[in-house]
Amino acid sequence: MSSCPHVSPAGILCVADQCHGLCELALNYHLLTDELLLALSTERHVHLEHLRIDVVSENRGQVQFHTIKRSSWEAMVRHSPKFSLVMYFFLYEDEFGPFFCDELPVTHLYFGRSVSKEVLGRVGMTCPRLVELVVCANGLRPLDEELIRIAERCQHLSAIGLGECEVSCSAFVEFVKMCGRRLSQLSIMEEVLVPDHKYGLDDIHWEVSKHLGRVWFPDMMPTW
């Protein structure tokens, strides 16, 4: 349903009412409303296991994104406490205003375009259920504080991937130390890591491997 332009929230509810085995749902964000979440939270025979939301902006400034109330998400969690909320963001940096302002039960979060330090800082404050985080790009401002905040507050985080970002080696080691062996997936490009007074690129893998409990090396760009 995420790619169908003619589906309405009422149509989704009709499907949920008739399909008693419905456990997965994928939507474009413009179809998501408080009323839809509250209705799904009252369907006794529907207990979603997987909800995917695509938040896409193709033309900057032409789409006004709405905010979903925290109470609507809380109702969804009470109804289906183990459901996974997967969100893909393809927005421009100045379009994140309505998002991550209040607690959000997202478990898997993917940023397909550049995202600011400020937004990533808000992720650490508002996404306590986060399991996986992938950041395609950020820019040239180090994400040290943001990563540490995410490690402190996102106690279920077990997978992270960083693309065109910057993180000091010391902050990265501290992040891994705080998350420990629950980090089952750690995909970091070598270019992301910035050597500092404590760690260089030649020895950081030893320290990270120690805290992960397995051998780890940063990903490397192919030379061809």
The angle at the Cα of 89, spanning 126 to 85, to the nearest 5 degrees, equals 55
What are the extents of the domains in the chain?
Answer: 9-212
Output phi, psi for 34, to 5 deg: -60, -40
Average pLDDT, the chain: 88
Write out pLDDT tens, residues 1-18. Answer: 444 444 455 556 655 555
Write out pLDDT tens, residues 87-146. Answer: 999 999 889 999 999 999 999 999 999 999 999 999 999 999 999 999 999 877 899 999
Type of residue numbered 171: A
The 3-state DSSP class for residue 88 equals: strand
Whether the per-residue pLDDT at 43 is higher than 80: the answer is no
pLDDT band at 39 (very low <50, low <70, confident <90, very high): confident
Does pTM surpass 0.85?
yes
CA–CA separation, 37 and 13 (whole Å): 10
Q: In the CATH scheme, what is the code of domain 9-212?
A: 3.80.10.10
